Chains A and B, each alone.
Chain A
Amino acid sequence: DVKVTQSSRYLVKRTGEKVFLECVQDMDHENMFWYRQDPGLGLRLIYFSYDVKMKEKGDIPEGYSVSREKKERFSLILESASTNQTSMYLCASSVGGLNTEAFFGQGTRLTVV
């Protein structure tokens, strides 16, 4: 089975802190994604990566950056956490191609206080 693992299930951080959310997949997938899930808004794409060191902005990249130094790992970085970044963050991975589904991690619920 494909496994996408997010490093934390719950996180509480202070405003202004630099926050790292880590995601690891074990199926050698080319694509990795970070989404943010908020009630009534569904999943919104923050960033995705289609190869090591490659990244593309999604719909809401402001306030975030990403790092993909190894194929299996995709990190989301909140440079200076703010309360409006309190949300559920979902990591996903997929094989390249149009007809491929994404596999998701269990999510990280981040609270910024």
Chain B
Amino acid sequence: AQKVTQAQTEISVVEKEDVTLDCVYETRDTTYYLFWYKQPPSGELVFLIRRNSFDEQNEISGRYSWNFQKSTSSFNFTITASQVVDSAVYFCALKVSNNNDMRFGAGTRLTVKP
């Protein structure tokens, strides 16, 4: 069975602080993909990044970075110098081979205060 755990329900930071959102996954498959989505107040989930199980290289995109560690089954997301516009609910998701669906964590609500 596949499972995604986002233990942080809500995080509140002040603008310009760095913040890390945790994601831990469970699967017996050796081939899988991990995803991060952002859900702003408007409601529509926006895709941020995908990472396959064979690529443990960390990725940086502007103020966003992702740390994938198979040894701890984690795929954490860091926002550097947070901004008010980063306020949203962030979801981590898992997709495994031979399966069409995507399984999501419970989400982390990030509030960035000015």
Contacts and interface: CB of A to CB of B under 8 A. Distances in A.
Indicate whether A and B interact.
yes
A48 B100 contact: yes
Contacts of A44: 104
A9 to B, nearest CB: 8
Given A42-B106, A96-B100, A104 B44 contact: yes
Give the interface size class of chain A: 20 to 34
Interface stretch (B13-21, B45-53, B69-77): B45-53
Contact of A45 (B43, B96, B101): B101
A31 interface: yes
Given A40-B9, A42-B107, A98-B95, A88 B43 contact: yes
Contacts, number: 61
A106 B43 contact: yes
A43 interface: yes
Give the interface size class of chain B: 20 to 34
A99 B33 contact: yes
B103 A45 contact: yes
Contacts of B102: 33, 45, 92, 94, 102
B9 A58 contact: no
Interface string A30-74: 010101000011111100101000001010000000000000000
A107 B35 contact: no
A31 B102 CA distance: 11
Nearest to B35: A101
B58 interface: no
A94 B37 CA distance: 14
A12 B91 CA distance: 27
Closest 5 CB pairs of A and B: A42-B106, A43-B104, A104-B45, A107-B43, A101-B47
Given A58-B101, A98-B52, A106-B44, 5 more contacts: A42-B105, A43-B91, A45-B103, A56-B100, A99-B50
Interface of A: 31, 33, 35, 40-45, 48, 50, 56, 58, 88, 90, 92, 94, 96, 98-99, 101-107
